[in-house]
Chain A
């Protein structure tokens, strides 16, 4: 134990900037009549995404009783959608989320997420709003919108929708030493995106129209070329992944199938099986209003604003000192 380990990992100047940022986010939504909600952090159900691992904590009715595992939210998405289905209207949430095992220069297992939902917004409308919000913090960015397919064609000369598994592996191994095998096309697409494309993204870039296999909770539609694309965007700031938005899936059958498919993929990969949020399906059956929603990493926004390389520099106590 080093003697300075009691000290914060962020400078006091950065923490003051952080306070300003939180204040100005609340002001932004207040001005737009979007209501703040604070849903539960602890849930009986867990996120279904195979590659997001929940932290589980033991709940006991009394100290010596046998516990049951509850799960810390990895995003407030399920709870917020249950509120939307109950008719709450436009909402935002600013709070902590938890992701097991995610620690690095750009990752902290506990981080601050801003998530909001807008009724009647298209994905384009929501991109406009994200842009407005980011501009309140960082004025000097060049903005661009590009589809996932155009971006791959531009940087790699490869169509991510039609390239074979072999083509993707080959393209990857031309530039990245990756000795492992993987039959999942998305693994290679993600590797190409994170290792080759992201470092080349400058300014603020919205990447949209993802392959349906990466739809998560976004609607899938047919585009002008007859290709199935998901109505999802990611925003990158100088190659740093900042926000992830969807035109929200409202179809309960489709939602139910995706939850089941995620659980099956988890089983296949030997990943933990945790209770699925079936109450979300019920909420969608009741009726989710037409809406778009986005989650934005607040710590990362501050990293880019302050031009620092490590997430620990913008949170009071980074993981090692938490």
Chain B
């Protein structure tokens, strides 16, 4: 693996730190006029999700991490593992609960999902910013209430529960923002 010295650090660089792959979120060059230069880096541990800051001297170097973001098709979940396929090579990978995290409730079969691989194994799964999912359960719709601000819970085909306007009916397809978990519109 390649090594990067502190003066080569940049946003998005993936490196190994204390045995875990980490991604650099923000790199700042700090140098007092007459003093030694430092590189201050905000990093995310890609396994634990922890975000923190660390300072390096310009002559320090760290090992790069073999981390890749890939777009894979979601195939199915067997309850324990979530299975994905690279549609160009037909290679499959399986992600566990840790790697899936909160993304599980937005995964619809055949959707393209960003899977982060470390040494070929999934360590994180990022759903698309917007997904379209069907309502499988909600209270009956209230006609003529489209202008009022009221809302009610609705269960979607993936099991996710979101607040939706009162006029939404079972069987409708909705557009959801996965970052906030909020209803956007009818699809």
A214 at the binding interface (Cβ < 8 Å): yes
B32 at the binding interface (Cβ < 8 Å): yes
Q: Indicate the size class of the contact surface on chain A.
A: 20 to 34
Within the complex, the shortest CB–CB distance from B155 to chain A, in Å, comes to 43
Task: Report A-chain residues with C-beta under 8 Å of the C-beta of B35.
Answer: 51, 186-187, 190, 193-194, 214
Task: Report A-chain residues with C-beta under 8 Å of the C-beta of B55.
Answer: 176-178, 191, 195
Please name the residue on chain B nearest to A181 by beta carbon.
B57
Please name the residue on chain B nearest to A244 by beta carbon.
B33
Task: Report B-chain residues with C-beta under 8 Å of the C-beta of A244.
Answer: 33-34
Contact of B37 among A102, A193, A195, A234 (CB under 8 A): A102
Residues 99-124 of A contacting B (Cβ, < 8 Å): 101-107
Please name the residue on chain B nearest to A210 by beta carbon.
B34
Contact of B58 among A52, A101, A106, A195 (CB under 8 A): A101
Within the complex, the shortest CB–CB distance from A299 to chain B, in Å, comes to 14
A220 at the binding interface (Cβ < 8 Å): no
B30 at the binding interface (Cβ < 8 Å): yes
A91 at the binding interface (Cβ < 8 Å): no
A208 to B54, CA, bound (A): 29
Give the total of B residues in contact with A, Cβ under 8 Å: 21
Residues 49-71 of B contacting A (Cβ, < 8 Å): 52-58, 60
Residues 191-216 of A contacting B (Cβ, < 8 Å): 191, 193-195, 214, 216
Task: Report B-chain residues with C-beta under 8 Å of the C-beta of A179.
Answer: 54
Task: Report B-chain residues with C-beta under 8 Å of the C-beta of A180.
Answer: 56-57, 60
A146 to B34, CA, bound (A): 19
A184 to B36, CA, bound (A): 10
A234 to B36, CA, bound (A): 16
Task: Report B-chain residues with C-beta under 8 Å of the C-beta of A101.
Answer: 7, 37, 58
Task: Report A-chain residues with C-beta under 8 Å of the C-beta of B58.
Answer: 101
Residues 233-290 of A contacting B (Cβ, < 8 Å): 234, 241, 244
B32, B34, B40, B55 — most chain A CB neighbours (10 Å): B34
Task: Report A-chain residues with C-beta under 8 Å of the C-beta of B53.
Answer: 176-177
Contact of A104 among B28, B34, B52, B57 (CB under 8 A): B28
> Is the beta-carbon distance between B36 and A51 smaller than 8 angstroms?
yes
> Is the beta-carbon distance between A191 and B34 smaller than 8 angstroms?
no
Within the complex, the shortest CB–CB distance from A259 to chain B, in Å, comes to 15
Task: Report B-chain residues with C-beta under 8 Å of the C-beta of A128.
Answer: none
B143 at the binding interface (Cβ < 8 Å): no
> What are 16 inter-chain pairs, A to B, with CB distance below 8 A?
A101-B37, A102-B31, A102-B37, A103-B29, A104-B31, A176-B53, A177-B52, A177-B53, A177-B55, A178-B54, A178-B56, A186-B35, A190-B38, A194-B35, A195-B30, A195-B55
